[in-house]
Chains A and B, each alone.
Chain A
Amino acid sequence: AAGVIQSPRHLIKEKRETATLKCYPIPRHDTVYWYQQGPGQDPQFLISFYEKMQSDKGSIPDRFSAQQFSDYHSELNMSSLELGDSALYFCASSLLEGTFGYTFGSGTRLTVV
C-alpha cells in the first residue's frame, strides 16, 4: 500500500540558509499535517491543510511557511535557519481530517550547522 512520502530524508544546511521539505500524502487523503520533533521530545504540531486550504496552525515560527498544491502534495519552506531548527520533520496525512486515523511519513532529518 502507498504510504506518505517525504523528501529529502536528510538535509544539512548552514545558519541563515533556506530549506524546502516536501510531502506526498497517501492518494485520496485530503488532509496534510506537519510536525516537528526535536531531540528527545515528542512531535509538536506545526500546521495542517484540508483540501488545499490551511485548516489549523500550531507553534510554527514566522520564518516557516507551508502550502498544499493542487495535486495535494505539500511543501514546508523554512528560511533564516537557526541551530534550534535542527529536528525531525514529519508529514502525516489523513482522510476527512483524521476520521480514520493518521499515517506518518518517515520524516526529514534537518541539521543546521
Chain B
Amino acid sequence: KQEVTQIPAALSVPEGENLVLNCSFTDSAIYNLQWFRQDPGKGLTSLLLIQSSQREQTSGRLNASLDKSSGRSTLYIAASQPGDSATYLCAVALRETSGSRLTFGEGTQLTVNP
C-alpha cells in the first residue's frame, strides 16, 4: 500500500524567503506525482504535475523535482509572499490498479508573514 509523507507538517517564514517542502512515498512504481494547494475550507488547486519519466517541472516561482528511486519529491517556492499561505498537498498516482487513484500526504501548512 502506497504511503505518502510530507515534512514539515507546518512552516512559518518571513516574506521573501525561499523554502522547500518535502514529500516521500513508499512505492517507487508511480505513474505521476502532483502538487496541490488548498486554502482553508476550499478546493484543491493543481500547482505542478510530474510524470514518472520526468525529473522536474517549473511554473513561475515554483519548482518541483522528482527522484523515483529514492521515493522523494520536493516543492521549491522562491521569494515567498503572504499570498502563498495555504496547505500544500503532495499526491501520488500508482498504475497498479485501473483508475490511477491519488494517494495524498497529510500536507504542509505554510504561513508567510509580511
Query: What residues of chain A have their CB less than 8 Å away from a CB belonging to chain B?
Result: 31, 33, 35, 41-45, 48, 50, 55-56, 58, 88, 90, 92, 94, 97-98, 100-107, 109
Contacts and interface: CB of A to CB of B under 8 A. Distances in A.
A50 B100 CA distance: 10
Given A88-B41, A98-B99, A103-B46, 12 more contacts: A31-B99, A42-B89, A43-B44, A43-B89, A43-B102, A43-B104, A44-B104, A48-B99, A56-B97, A97-B99, A101-B46, A102-B93
Interface of B: 31-32, 34, 36, 41-46, 49, 89, 91, 93, 97-107
A56 B99 contact: yes
B42 A106 contact: yes
Given A42-B106, A90-B43, A90-B44, A100 B101 contact: no
Given A90-B43, A90-B44, A106-B42, A101 B99 contact: no
B49 to A, nearest CB: 4
A33 B102 contact: yes
Given A42-B106, A104-B46, A48 B34 contact: no
Given A42-B106, A45-B103, A102 B46 contact: yes
Best-buried of B44, B104, B107 by chain A (most CB within 10 Å): B44
A34 to B, nearest CB: 10
B29 to A, nearest CB: 14
